[in-house]
């Protein structure tokens, strides 16, 4: 229900907004300075919530006109998470693993050749990522502590300080979204909180694009991913050092501690950024990003979700397109921190399912790597890949699976391929 409502309002334009939306307050700011151009993320608010929020910026009479003229009226407070309607959440990591491996082909297909791996890869790529339930809450569009002090957090989607000049914006065509995003992305920022606001605003544009056109679009640099990385870069920061005003600090205090808010930013926004860019090749040139290093650490250390990490990495590697860039066998910290055996479930049945899925994932990507090298004659980062393959082989032997022949074949291909 909620997604259908948002899809409908995403088609609306600024021409349907009341004039109070663009009325500037004493600081020269208006609604359009922070919110998406059409305010679609607020159109699900209950009228009382809209009025209460409007009074923070406008005189009472003007706030009442805005609340009356703004097309709201749905009985929600705006705290629902996008891509996560009621009933979607898996309650724990194992439930998530059960859901993503319930189709017989996931654990049943035999991967004994390149062709079998290519067929399996096509099935992996057919999984609708935006419909996968996860065992943590994705950050809501909008939240404040009026109803619950636990909602006092900067981890939602709404920019915390102005991100644009607040002028009307035309968003009809795909090109309109791209040009407006570029204009926002090139605005100078003077503090960390302004940088966060800029990327939240651009994320709202990407979300509205998805609702309007029915397909994902990744703005340059993937602002959703950057919001997650903000939570990493400022993991131990206090609000004052981010450049937040005393009023903004007060609005986001009393609930989760700043460190917890940063954890929520990392966990939720890295996942959202990955949903929009499953290969992570459009989210920045850094190998740490492309390998999902900090994302994997967040899933493992912040949330203790190894099955989520394994699924994400399996899909991310499957997204690598033949010929664009060399295929890389890389499971990041899942194979280098405590090693994957340290993340296995305790119950025998759960552990066996985890092992079976890990083995399928390793086989798939060993075959895909071999195919890439055979086709292109090249590879990248040979030593890290060889180390990862050795670790995967050691794990397979530990769980009683012998893939020595395949592993030896792939390692020889790496050693003789072009590249370093």
Contact 216, 275 (CB under 8 A): yes
Which of 74-88, 132-146, 172-186, 243-257 shows the lowest mean pLDDT across its residues? 74-88
112: Cβ–Cβ under 8 A, 6 or more apart, which residues? none
At 57 the pLDDT is: 84
Which of 9-13, 108-112, 389-393, 402-406 shows the lowest mean pLDDT across its residues? 9-13
Its pTM stands at 0.93
Residue 74 or residue 51, greater confidence: 51
Mean pLDDT of 269-283: 96
Nearest to 127 by CA among 339, 311, 377, 368: 311
Check pLDDT > 50 for residue 402.
Answer: yes
At 1 the pLDDT is: 39
Q: Extract the tokens encoding 261.
A: 């808010």
Residue-wise burial string across 52-65, b where 16 or more C-beta atoms lie within 10 A, e elsewhere: ebbeebbeeebbeb
At 2 the pLDDT is: 43
Contact 308, 96 (CB under 8 A): yes
At 48 the pLDDT is: 79
What CA–CA distance (Å, rounded) separates 62 from 305?
48
Check pLDDT > 80 for residue 345.
Answer: yes
393: Cβ–Cβ under 8 A, 6 or more apart, which residues? 403, 404, 407
What CA–CA distance (Å, rounded) separates 206 from 83?
13
Q: What share of the chain in percent tops pLDDT 90?
A: 70
At 15 the pLDDT is: 60
């Amino acid at each position: 229900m909620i997604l259908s409502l948002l899809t409908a309002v995403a088609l609306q334009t600024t021409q349907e907004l009341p004039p109070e939306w663009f009325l500037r307050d004493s600081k020269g700011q208006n609604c359009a300075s922070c919110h998406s151009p059409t305010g679609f993320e607020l159109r699900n608010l209950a009228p009382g919530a809209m009025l209460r929020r409007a009074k923070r910026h406008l005189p009472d009479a003007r706030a009442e006109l805005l609340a009356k003229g703004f097309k709201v009226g749905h009985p929600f407070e705006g705290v629902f998470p996008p891509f996560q309607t009621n009933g979607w959440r898996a309650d724990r990591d194992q439930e998530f693993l059960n859901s993503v491996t319930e189709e017989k082909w996931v654990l049943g297909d035999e991967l004994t050749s390149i062709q079998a791996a290519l067929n399996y890869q096509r099935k992996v790529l057919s999984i609708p990522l935006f419909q996968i339930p996860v065992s943590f809450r994705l950050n809501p569009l909008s939240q404040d502590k009026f109803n619950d002090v636990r909602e006092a957090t900067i981890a939602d989607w709404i920019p915390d300080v102005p991100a644009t000049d607040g002028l009307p914006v035309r968003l009809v065509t795909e090109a309109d979204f791209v040009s407006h995003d570029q204009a926002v992305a090139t605005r100078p920022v003077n503090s960390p909180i302004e940088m966060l606001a800029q990327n939240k605003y651009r994320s709202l544009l990407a979300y509205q694009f998805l609702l309007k056109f029915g397909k994902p679009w990744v703005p340059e640099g993937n602002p959703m991913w950057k919001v997650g990385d903000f939570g990493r870069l400022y993991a131990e920061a206090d609000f004052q050092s981010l450049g937040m005003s005393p009023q903004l600090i007060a609005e986001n205090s009393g609930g989760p501690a700043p460190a917890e808010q940063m954890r929520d930013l990392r966990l939720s926004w890295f996942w959202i950024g990955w949903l929009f860019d499953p290969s992570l090749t459009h989210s920045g040139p850094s190998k740490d990003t492309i390998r999902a290093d900090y994302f994997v650490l967040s899933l493992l250390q912040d949330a203790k979700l190894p099955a989520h990490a394994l699924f994400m990495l399996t899909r991310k590697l499957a997204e690598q397109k033949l010929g664009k860039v060399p295929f890389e066998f890389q499971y990041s910290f899942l194979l280098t921190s405590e090693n994957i055996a340290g993340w296995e479930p305790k119950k025998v049945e759960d552990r066996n399912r985890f092992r079976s899925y890990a083995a399928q994932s390793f086989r798939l990507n060993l075959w895909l790597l071999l195919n890439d090298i055979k086709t292109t004659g090249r590879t990248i980062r040979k030593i890290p890949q060889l180390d990862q393959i050795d670790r995967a082989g050691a794990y397979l032997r530990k769980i009683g699976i012998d893939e020595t022949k395949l592993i030896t074949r792939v390692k020889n291909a790496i050693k003789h391929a072009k590249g370093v």
